[in-house]
Protein backbone atom coordinates (compact mmCIF):
# COMPACT_ATOMS: atom_id res chain seq x y z
CA UNK A 1 0.00 0.00 0.00
CA UNK A 2 1.16 3.56 -0.71
CA UNK A 3 -0.27 6.33 1.45
CA UNK A 4 0.49 9.90 0.46
CA UNK A 5 1.41 12.71 2.85
CA UNK A 6 -1.07 14.92 1.04
CA UNK A 7 -3.73 14.13 -1.50
CA UNK A 8 -5.24 16.79 -3.75
CA UNK A 9 -8.50 15.58 -5.17
CA UNK A 10 -10.83 17.66 -7.29
CA UNK A 11 -14.22 16.74 -8.73
CA UNK A 12 -15.57 17.37 -12.27
CA UNK A 13 -17.94 20.10 -11.12
CA UNK A 14 -15.09 22.04 -9.51
CA UNK A 15 -12.94 21.67 -12.62
CA UNK A 16 -15.74 23.10 -14.77
CA UNK A 17 -16.14 26.00 -12.33
CA UNK A 18 -12.40 26.75 -12.37
CA UNK A 19 -12.38 26.65 -16.15
CA UNK A 20 -15.25 29.10 -16.45
CA UNK A 21 -13.81 31.49 -13.81
CA UNK A 22 -10.45 31.37 -15.56
CA UNK A 23 -12.07 32.35 -18.87
CA UNK A 24 -13.81 35.30 -17.21
CA UNK A 25 -10.56 36.36 -15.53
CA UNK A 26 -8.66 36.35 -18.83
CA UNK A 27 -11.47 38.21 -20.58
CA UNK A 28 -11.40 40.89 -17.89
CA UNK A 29 -7.60 41.03 -17.84
CA UNK A 30 -7.64 41.23 -14.02
CA UNK A 31 -5.01 38.85 -12.68
CA UNK A 32 -3.72 40.35 -9.45
CA UNK A 33 -5.41 41.86 -6.39
CA UNK A 34 -8.72 42.32 -8.23
CA UNK A 35 -12.39 41.47 -7.59
CA UNK A 36 -11.76 37.80 -6.74
CA UNK A 37 -9.24 38.76 -4.04
CA UNK A 38 -11.78 41.24 -2.62
CA UNK A 39 -14.45 38.55 -2.67
CA UNK A 40 -12.19 36.04 -0.89
CA UNK A 41 -11.20 38.62 1.73
CA UNK A 42 -14.87 39.24 2.45
CA UNK A 43 -15.69 35.51 2.51
CA UNK A 44 -12.77 34.68 4.81
CA UNK A 45 -13.35 37.51 7.28
CA UNK A 46 -17.06 36.66 7.47
CA UNK A 47 -16.45 32.98 8.08
CA UNK A 48 -13.59 33.65 10.49
CA UNK A 49 -15.57 36.42 12.26
CA UNK A 50 -12.74 38.96 11.95
CA UNK A 51 -13.53 42.50 10.89
CA UNK A 52 -10.94 42.71 8.12
CA UNK A 53 -8.95 40.30 5.98
CA UNK A 54 -6.10 41.44 3.73
CA UNK A 55 -4.84 38.99 1.11
CA UNK A 56 -1.10 38.50 0.55
CA UNK A 57 1.12 36.53 -1.79
CA UNK A 58 2.11 34.20 1.10
CA UNK A 59 2.21 34.01 4.85
CA UNK A 60 5.92 34.89 4.77
CA UNK A 61 5.25 38.18 2.97
CA UNK A 62 2.34 38.84 5.34
CA UNK A 63 4.59 38.32 8.40
CA UNK A 64 7.22 40.67 6.98
CA UNK A 65 4.55 43.30 6.28
CA UNK A 66 2.98 43.13 9.74
CA UNK A 67 6.28 43.48 11.58
CA UNK A 68 7.57 46.20 9.26
CA UNK A 69 4.44 48.27 9.78
CA UNK A 70 4.76 47.82 13.55
CA UNK A 71 8.25 49.27 13.09
CA UNK A 72 10.04 48.02 16.20
CA UNK A 73 13.45 47.58 14.60
CA UNK A 74 15.40 48.53 17.71
CA UNK A 75 13.48 46.07 19.85
CA UNK A 76 13.33 42.28 19.86
CA UNK A 77 10.70 39.98 18.48
CA UNK A 78 10.11 36.83 20.52
CA UNK A 79 9.33 33.64 18.60
CA UNK A 80 9.38 29.90 19.39
CA UNK A 81 12.56 27.99 18.51
CA UNK A 82 10.44 25.04 17.38
CA UNK A 83 8.80 26.41 14.21
CA UNK A 84 9.24 26.18 10.44
CA UNK A 85 12.00 28.15 8.72
CA UNK A 86 9.75 30.83 7.08
CA UNK A 87 8.84 32.10 10.57
CA UNK A 88 12.45 33.20 11.06
CA UNK A 89 13.28 33.97 7.42
CA UNK A 90 10.47 36.51 7.04
CA UNK A 91 11.96 38.46 9.98
CA UNK A 92 15.65 37.91 9.35
CA UNK A 93 15.33 39.16 5.77
CA UNK A 94 14.32 42.52 7.22
CA UNK A 95 17.10 42.63 9.84
CA UNK A 96 14.74 42.25 12.76
CA UNK A 97 16.23 41.20 16.09
CA UNK A 98 14.91 37.77 16.92
CA UNK A 99 14.95 36.19 20.36
CA UNK A 100 14.08 32.52 20.37
CA UNK A 101 12.20 30.89 23.22
CA UNK A 102 11.87 27.26 24.23
CA UNK A 103 8.46 25.61 23.93
CA UNK A 104 6.28 23.59 26.25
CA UNK A 105 7.09 19.91 25.82
CA UNK A 106 3.42 18.88 25.89
CA UNK A 107 1.61 21.54 23.88
CA UNK A 108 4.60 22.31 21.57
CA UNK A 109 3.60 26.00 21.89
CA UNK A 110 5.38 28.81 23.75
CA UNK A 111 5.24 28.26 27.49
CA UNK A 112 2.24 29.66 29.35
CA UNK A 113 4.55 31.62 31.70
CA UNK A 114 5.92 33.50 28.70
CA UNK A 115 5.54 36.83 30.54
CA UNK A 116 8.68 35.91 32.54
CA UNK A 117 10.77 36.20 29.37
CA UNK A 118 9.79 39.79 28.68
CA UNK A 119 12.28 42.58 29.31
CA UNK A 120 12.87 46.18 28.22
CA UNK A 121 14.02 45.02 24.78
CA UNK A 122 10.82 43.12 23.96
CA UNK A 123 8.83 44.83 21.20
CA UNK A 124 6.74 42.09 19.59
CA UNK A 125 5.71 38.55 20.53
CA UNK A 126 4.76 36.29 17.66
CA UNK A 127 2.76 33.29 18.81
CA UNK A 128 2.87 30.32 16.47
CA UNK A 129 -0.21 28.12 16.74
CA UNK A 130 1.65 24.94 15.92
CA UNK A 131 -0.02 21.95 14.24
CA UNK A 132 -3.47 23.49 14.90
CA UNK A 133 -3.03 23.89 18.66
CA UNK A 134 -3.71 27.42 19.97
CA UNK A 135 -1.82 29.60 22.44
CA UNK A 136 -4.11 31.55 24.78
CA UNK A 137 -3.49 35.10 23.61
CA UNK A 138 -6.10 36.64 25.94
CA UNK A 139 -4.53 35.27 29.09
CA UNK A 140 -1.12 36.55 27.91
CA UNK A 141 -2.54 40.02 27.17
CA UNK A 142 -3.69 40.33 30.77
CA UNK A 143 -0.18 39.66 32.05
CA UNK A 144 1.90 42.03 29.91
CA UNK A 145 2.18 45.70 29.01
CA UNK A 146 -0.08 46.85 26.16
CA UNK A 147 3.01 48.50 24.61
CA UNK A 148 4.16 45.04 23.50
CA UNK A 149 2.49 43.92 20.28
CA UNK A 150 1.24 40.36 20.23
CA UNK A 151 0.76 38.93 16.77
CA UNK A 152 -0.30 35.44 15.77
CA UNK A 153 1.14 33.14 13.13
CA UNK A 154 -1.99 31.11 12.43
CA UNK A 155 -0.61 29.53 9.26
CA UNK A 156 -1.37 26.09 10.67
CA UNK A 157 -4.56 26.94 12.57
CA UNK A 158 -7.34 27.91 10.14
CA UNK A 159 -10.60 27.69 12.08
CA UNK A 160 -9.03 26.22 15.19
CA UNK A 161 -10.93 27.58 18.18
CA UNK A 162 -10.04 28.86 21.62
CA UNK A 163 -12.76 29.65 24.17
CA UNK A 164 -15.22 28.99 21.34
CA UNK A 165 -13.74 31.71 19.11
CA UNK A 166 -11.89 31.18 15.83
CA UNK A 167 -8.18 31.92 15.76
CA UNK A 168 -7.69 35.36 14.28
CA UNK A 169 -11.23 36.58 15.02
CA UNK A 170 -10.21 38.59 18.02
CA UNK A 171 -6.73 39.71 17.25
CA UNK A 172 -4.67 42.74 16.31
CA UNK A 173 -2.94 40.74 13.55
CA UNK A 174 -3.30 37.08 12.75
CA UNK A 175 -1.37 35.71 9.80
CA UNK A 176 -2.48 32.73 7.70
CA UNK A 177 -0.75 30.67 5.01
CA UNK A 178 -2.67 29.07 2.17
CA UNK A 179 0.28 27.01 0.94
CA UNK A 180 -1.07 23.83 -0.75
CA UNK A 181 -0.46 21.59 2.28
CA UNK A 182 -2.48 23.79 4.66
CA UNK A 183 -6.05 23.03 5.82
CA UNK A 184 -7.32 25.88 3.65
CA UNK A 185 -5.16 25.87 0.55
CA UNK A 186 -4.51 27.56 -2.76
CA UNK A 187 -3.02 25.95 -5.87
CA UNK A 188 0.16 27.94 -5.35
CA UNK A 189 1.35 30.53 -2.85
CA UNK A 190 -1.06 32.75 -0.93
CA UNK A 191 -1.61 34.11 2.56
CA UNK A 192 -3.57 36.74 4.48
CA UNK A 193 -3.78 38.80 7.65
CA UNK A 194 -6.96 39.20 9.68
CA UNK A 195 -7.28 42.20 11.95
CA UNK A 196 -9.98 44.08 13.82
CA UNK A 197 -8.15 47.38 13.44
CA UNK A 198 -9.34 49.40 10.46
CA UNK A 199 -6.29 51.63 10.32
CA UNK A 200 -3.92 48.66 10.42
CA UNK A 201 -5.91 46.95 7.62
CA UNK A 202 -5.50 50.10 5.54
CA UNK A 203 -1.74 50.11 6.13
CA UNK A 204 -1.52 46.43 5.18
CA UNK A 205 -3.44 47.04 1.94
CA UNK A 206 -1.01 49.79 1.05
CA UNK A 207 2.07 47.81 2.12
CA UNK A 208 1.31 44.82 -0.12
CA UNK A 209 1.00 47.20 -3.09
CA UNK A 210 4.39 48.99 -2.85
CA UNK A 211 3.01 51.17 -0.03
CA UNK A 212 0.68 53.08 -2.35
CA UNK A 213 -2.47 54.87 -1.26
CA UNK A 214 -5.47 52.92 -2.63
CA UNK A 215 -6.82 55.73 -4.81
CA UNK A 216 -4.39 58.61 -5.11
CA UNK A 217 -0.81 58.74 -6.31
CA UNK A 218 0.75 58.93 -2.86
CA UNK A 219 2.82 56.67 -0.62
CA UNK A 220 1.16 55.65 2.65
CA UNK A 221 4.16 53.71 3.84
CA UNK A 222 7.07 52.05 2.08
CA UNK A 223 5.99 48.61 1.01
CA UNK A 224 6.63 45.83 -1.43
CA UNK A 225 4.92 43.74 -4.07
CA UNK A 226 3.18 41.20 -1.87
CA UNK A 227 -0.21 40.97 -3.63
CA UNK A 228 -2.44 37.93 -3.96
CA UNK A 229 -3.26 36.49 -7.42
CA UNK A 230 -6.84 36.37 -8.65
CA UNK A 231 -6.49 32.69 -9.56
CA UNK A 232 -5.45 31.76 -6.02
CA UNK A 233 -8.29 33.85 -4.57
CA UNK A 234 -10.76 31.97 -6.76
CA UNK A 235 -9.43 28.59 -5.58
CA UNK A 236 -9.48 29.78 -1.97
CA UNK A 237 -13.13 30.86 -2.14
CA UNK A 238 -13.94 27.44 -3.60
CA UNK A 239 -12.02 25.58 -0.88
CA UNK A 240 -13.39 27.81 1.87
CA UNK A 241 -16.81 26.26 1.24
CA UNK A 242 -15.36 22.85 2.19
CA UNK A 243 -13.19 23.86 5.14
CA UNK A 244 -15.55 22.83 7.95
CA UNK A 245 -16.20 19.46 6.33
CA UNK A 246 -12.45 18.91 5.82
CA UNK A 247 -11.59 19.98 9.37
CA UNK A 248 -14.26 17.61 10.72
CA UNK A 249 -12.72 14.73 8.73
CA UNK A 250 -9.29 15.57 10.14
CA UNK A 251 -10.80 15.54 13.62
CA UNK A 252 -12.15 12.02 13.04
CA UNK A 253 -8.74 10.84 11.83
CA UNK A 254 -7.13 12.37 14.92
CA UNK A 255 -9.62 10.48 17.14
CA UNK A 256 -8.98 7.24 15.25
CA UNK A 257 -5.21 7.47 15.72
CA UNK A 258 -5.53 8.32 19.40
CA UNK A 259 -7.95 5.47 20.04
CA UNK A 260 -5.85 2.88 18.24
CA UNK A 261 -2.39 3.95 19.40
CA UNK A 262 -2.95 5.10 22.97
CA UNK A 263 -1.58 1.93 24.62
CA UNK A 264 1.79 2.25 22.82
CA UNK A 265 4.85 4.16 24.13
CA UNK A 266 3.75 7.25 22.24
CA UNK A 267 2.95 10.80 23.38
CA UNK A 268 0.42 13.00 21.56
CA UNK A 269 0.36 16.79 21.43
CA UNK A 270 -1.57 18.09 24.45
CA UNK A 271 -4.60 20.15 23.49
CA UNK A 272 -6.11 22.12 26.38
CA UNK A 273 -9.84 21.76 27.07
CA UNK A 274 -10.66 25.29 25.86
CA UNK A 275 -9.01 24.61 22.46
CA UNK A 276 -10.46 22.91 19.40
CA UNK A 277 -7.57 22.13 17.07
CA UNK A 278 -8.03 22.07 13.29
CA UNK A 279 -5.72 19.00 13.34
CA UNK A 280 -3.38 20.42 10.73
CA UNK A 281 -0.64 17.98 11.71
CA UNK A 282 -0.95 14.71 13.59
CA UNK A 283 2.30 14.04 15.37
CA UNK A 284 3.50 11.25 17.58
CA UNK A 285 6.37 11.67 20.00
CA UNK A 286 8.40 8.54 20.68
CA UNK A 287 11.64 7.85 22.54
CA UNK A 288 14.43 9.35 20.44
CA UNK A 289 16.07 5.91 20.22
CA UNK A 290 13.08 4.76 18.10
CA UNK A 291 12.37 7.85 16.04
CA UNK A 292 14.55 7.40 12.96
CA UNK A 293 14.05 3.64 12.86
CA UNK A 294 10.27 3.94 13.14
CA UNK A 295 10.17 6.67 10.52
CA UNK A 296 12.22 4.56 8.11
CA UNK A 297 10.05 1.52 8.82
CA UNK A 298 6.87 3.48 8.07
CA UNK A 299 8.33 4.99 4.91
CA UNK A 300 9.49 1.56 3.73
CA UNK A 301 5.92 0.40 4.35
CA UNK A 302 4.71 3.04 1.87
CA UNK A 303 3.46 5.54 4.46
CA UNK A 304 4.11 9.22 3.74
CA UNK A 305 5.42 10.48 7.07
CA UNK A 306 7.26 13.74 7.70
CA UNK A 307 9.39 15.18 10.47
CA UNK A 308 8.70 18.73 11.68
CA UNK A 309 11.24 20.17 12.63
CA UNK A 310 14.56 18.38 12.61
CA UNK A 311 16.53 21.61 12.77
CA UNK A 312 15.57 24.25 15.31
CA UNK A 313 15.36 27.85 14.08
CA UNK A 314 18.38 29.11 16.11
CA UNK A 315 20.55 26.53 14.37
CA UNK A 316 19.74 28.14 11.00
CA UNK A 317 20.04 31.79 11.88
CA UNK A 318 22.55 31.81 14.76
CA UNK A 319 24.35 28.60 13.83
CA UNK A 320 24.15 27.32 17.39
CA UNK A 321 25.88 24.02 18.16
CA UNK A 322 23.91 20.97 19.35
CA UNK A 323 25.25 21.43 22.89
CA UNK A 324 24.03 25.03 23.02
CA UNK A 325 20.66 24.12 21.50
CA UNK A 326 20.17 21.37 24.05
CA UNK A 327 21.06 23.73 26.89
CA UNK A 328 19.03 26.76 25.76
CA UNK A 329 16.01 25.02 24.25
CA UNK A 330 15.78 21.61 25.98
CA UNK A 331 12.13 20.92 25.10
CA UNK A 332 12.38 22.06 21.49
CA UNK A 333 15.61 20.05 21.15
CA UNK A 334 14.00 16.93 22.54
CA UNK A 335 10.95 17.30 20.23
CA UNK A 336 13.20 17.71 17.20
CA UNK A 337 14.71 14.30 17.97
CA UNK A 338 11.54 12.41 18.83
CA UNK A 339 8.66 13.56 16.65
CA UNK A 340 7.08 11.97 13.56
CA UNK A 341 4.03 13.24 11.66
CA UNK A 342 1.51 10.75 10.31
CA UNK A 343 -0.72 11.44 7.28
CA UNK A 344 -3.93 13.29 8.21
CA UNK A 345 -5.36 14.62 4.93
CA UNK A 346 -9.17 14.46 4.67
CA UNK A 347 -9.21 11.82 1.94
CA UNK A 348 -7.49 9.11 4.02
CA UNK A 349 -9.61 5.95 4.01
CA UNK A 350 -10.38 3.74 6.98
CA UNK A 351 -8.38 0.99 5.29
CA UNK A 352 -5.33 3.27 5.06
CA UNK A 353 -5.69 4.39 8.67
CA UNK A 354 -5.98 0.82 9.83
CA UNK A 355 -2.84 -0.06 7.84
CA UNK A 356 -0.85 2.82 9.40
CA UNK A 357 -1.87 1.86 12.95
CA UNK A 358 -1.14 -1.82 12.35
CA UNK A 359 2.35 -1.00 11.03
CA UNK A 360 3.13 1.12 14.10
CA UNK A 361 1.96 -1.71 16.37
CA UNK A 362 4.13 -4.20 14.46
CA UNK A 363 7.15 -1.93 14.91
CA UNK A 364 6.76 -1.75 18.69
CA UNK A 365 5.92 -5.48 18.97
CA UNK A 366 9.10 -6.46 17.14
CA UNK A 367 11.36 -4.05 18.94
- Which residues of the shown chain bind ligand PLP in the complex (CB under 6 A)? 58-60, 83-84, 86-87, 128, 153, 155-156, 177, 179, 189, 191
- Tell me if 282 sits within 8 A of 305, measured CB to CB: no
The DSSP code sequence of 91-106 is HHTTT-EEEEE-B-TT
**Closer CB to ligand PLP, 91 or 360, in the complex:** 91
**Closer CB to ligand PLP, 185 or 256, in the complex:** 185
- Of residues 25, 14, 30, 5, the one with CA closest to residue 237: 14
- Residue 296 CB, shortest distance to ligand PLP, in Å, is 24
- Residue 24 CB, shortest distance to ligand PLP, in Å, is 26
**Closer CB to ligand PLP, 189 or 352, in the complex:** 189
Spell out the SS3 assignment of 130-188. Answer: HHHCCCCHHHHHHHCCCCCEEEEECCCCCCCEECCEECCCCCCCEEEECCCCCCCCCCC
Q: In angstroms, how far apart are the furthest CA atoms of the chain?
A: 70
H-run or E-run covering 358: helix 350-366
**Closer CB to ligand PLP, 190 or 220, in the complex:** 190
User: What is the CB-side half-sphere exposure of residue 322 using CA atoms within 13 A?
Assistant: 4
- Residue 75 CB, shortest distance to ligand PLP, in Å, is 21
- Of residues 194, 195, 238, 198, the one with CA closest to residue 40: 238
- Residue 66 CB, shortest distance to ligand PLP, in Å, is 12
- Residue 128 CB, shortest distance to ligand PLP, in Å, is 5
H-run or E-run covering 276: strand 275-276
**Closer CB to ligand PLP, 192 or 285, in the complex:** 192
**Closer CB to ligand PLP, 70 or 151, in the complex:** 151
- Residue 135 CB, shortest distance to ligand PLP, in Å, is 12
CA dihedral 206, 212, 218, 221 (to 10 degrees): 60
- Residue 229 CB, shortest distance to ligand PLP, in Å, is 13
**Closer CB to ligand PLP, 153 or 230, in the complex:** 153
Q: Counting Cβ atoms within 10 Å, is residue 186 exposed (0-12), middle (13-18) or buried (19+)?
A: buried
**Pairing of the two strands 149-153 and 76-80:** unpaired
Amino acid sequence: MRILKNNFSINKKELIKINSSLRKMIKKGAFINGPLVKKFEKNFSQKNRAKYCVGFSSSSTAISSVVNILNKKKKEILIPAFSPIPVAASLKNYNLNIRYLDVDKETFLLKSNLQNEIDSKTGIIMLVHLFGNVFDINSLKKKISSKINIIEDSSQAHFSKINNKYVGSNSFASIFSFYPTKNLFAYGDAGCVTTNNQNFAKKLRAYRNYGLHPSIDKLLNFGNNFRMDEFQAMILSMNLKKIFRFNALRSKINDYYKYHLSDLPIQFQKIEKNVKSNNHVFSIVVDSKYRNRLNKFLMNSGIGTSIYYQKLLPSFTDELTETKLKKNFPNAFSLSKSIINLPIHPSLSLKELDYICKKIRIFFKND
